[in-house]
């Protein structure tokens, strides 16, 4: 196991303790901070590989801490939030958070997110061919294969699936996807996105009603995950 350092910024001592046990038993080093001020100082002095940031800190609004961190901090940040307020989470993702977890969370899920964001930050950008489960993305020839058979995709379908595939493991907000695939004028046209996601699922999923590649993050966006068989 790598010995990556993760900074946990959360005012609840029990959460820090629990995360400490969880992270250390999975081979990570953990540093901790109870306030925004302490968190910003520790981040600057020890430059951790990743930060887990609680949005509800006592001394400063989490969104403003996130913005301050993002002025210089390039490594992944995962947001912890008790609010199931989707707008709050979307705002954090727009402000540069890589992913989010809503309390109460399952530790297994948190560890999967941590692995995923660390992996994607280490990933090289310019690999032309990537395999995720039964899917093979060839970005140079703009083709995608399932079980070695080329999928028949329209230009928009390809653009959407390629965007999801390039961001494997990462949650992409509806607005982000609409802007990237359809353009700035379309960020309110979420019906396009719903319809195209349904079309893609019919093509790539074994059962479109029980998707395993394109996962819905209710009210937030979509997440493309590589099926376990690929790992």
Partner 1 sequence: MVCFASGVCFLFTPYVFGFEVVAFILLLTLSIIAMFFDILPVLLAALLSALIWDFFFLTPQFNFQVGTTEDKIMLSMYFIIVLVNAGLTYKIRKIEKEAREKEEKEQTLKLYNTLLNSLSHELRTPVSIIIAATDNLMTGSPQLSADDKVSLIHEISKASLRLNFEVENLLNMSRLESGFLKPKKDWCDIAELIYGVLRRSKEQLKAHVLIVHIEENLPLFKIDNGLMEQVLVNLINNAALYTVDGSLIEITAGSINNELVITIEDNGNGFPDDEASKVFDKFYRLKNSKAGGTGLGLSIVKGFVEAHAGKVKLKKSIFGGAKFIIEIPAESSSTIYAS
Per CB under 8 A, residues contacting partner 1 are 84, 86, 104, 154, 156, 174, 190-192, 194-195, 197-199, 209-210, 216, 218-219
**Minimum separation from the CB atom of position 151 to partner 1 (A):** 16
| Nearest residue to 47 (alpha-carbon basis) of 19, 79, 75 | 75
User: Closest separation between CB of residue 106 and partner 1, Å?
Assistant: 10
The rounded radius of gyration (Å) of the Cα atoms in the chain is 19
Which residues neighbour 155 within 8 Å (Cβ) at sequence distance 6 or greater?
A: none
The minimum distance between CB 189 and partner 1, in angstroms, equals 9
CB nearer to partner 1: give 126 or 191: 191
Name the residue nearer to partner 1 (CB basis): 46 or 216: 216
CA dihedral (171, 179, 87, 113) in degrees, to 10, reads 10
Query: Least distance to partner 1 from the beta carbon of 192, Å?
Result: 6
User: In the complex with partner 1, which residue's Cβ is closer, 35 or 175?
Assistant: 175
The nearest distance, CB 199 to partner 1, in angstroms, is 7
Check if the beta carbon of residue 189 is closer than 8 Å to that of residue 179: no
Tally of CA atoms within 13 A in the half-sphere of 107 that contains its CB: 12
Ordered strands of the 29-33 beta sheet: 29-33, 5-9, 50-54, 77-81, 99-102
Q: Residue 106 or residue 126: which is nearer to partner 1 going by CB? A: 106
- Taking the least distance from each CB to partner 1, the nearer of 112 and 195 is 195
């Amino acid at each position: 196991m790598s010995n990556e350092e993760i900074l946990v910024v959360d005012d609840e001592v029990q959460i820090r303790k629990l995360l400490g046990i969880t992270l250390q038993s999975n081979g990570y080093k953990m540093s901790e901070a109870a306030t925004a001020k302490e968190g910003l100082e520790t981040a600057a002095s020890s430059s951790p590989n990743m930060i887990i940031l609680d949005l509800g800190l006592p001394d400063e609004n989490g969104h403003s801490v996130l913005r301050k961190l993002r002025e210089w901090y390039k490594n992944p940040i995962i947001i912890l939030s008790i609010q199931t307020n989707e707008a709050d989470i979307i705002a954090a993702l727009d402000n540069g958070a890589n992913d989010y977890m809503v309390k109460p969370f399952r530790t297994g899920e948190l560890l999967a997110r941590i692995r995923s964001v660390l992996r994607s930050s280490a990933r090289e950008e310019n690999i032309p061919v990537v395999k995720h489960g039964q899917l093979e993305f060839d970005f140079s020839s703009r083709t995608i294969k399932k079980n070695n058979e080329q999928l028949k995709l329209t230009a928009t379908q390809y653009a959407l699936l390629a965007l999801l595939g390039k961001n494997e493991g990462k949650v992409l907000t509806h607005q982000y996807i609409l802007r990237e695939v359809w353009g700035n004028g379309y960020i309110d046209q979420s019906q396009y996105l719903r319809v195209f996601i349904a079309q893609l699922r019919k093509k790539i999923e074994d059962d479109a009603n029980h998707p395993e590649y394109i996962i819905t993050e209710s009210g937030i966006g979509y997440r493309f995950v590589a099926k376990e068989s690929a790992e």
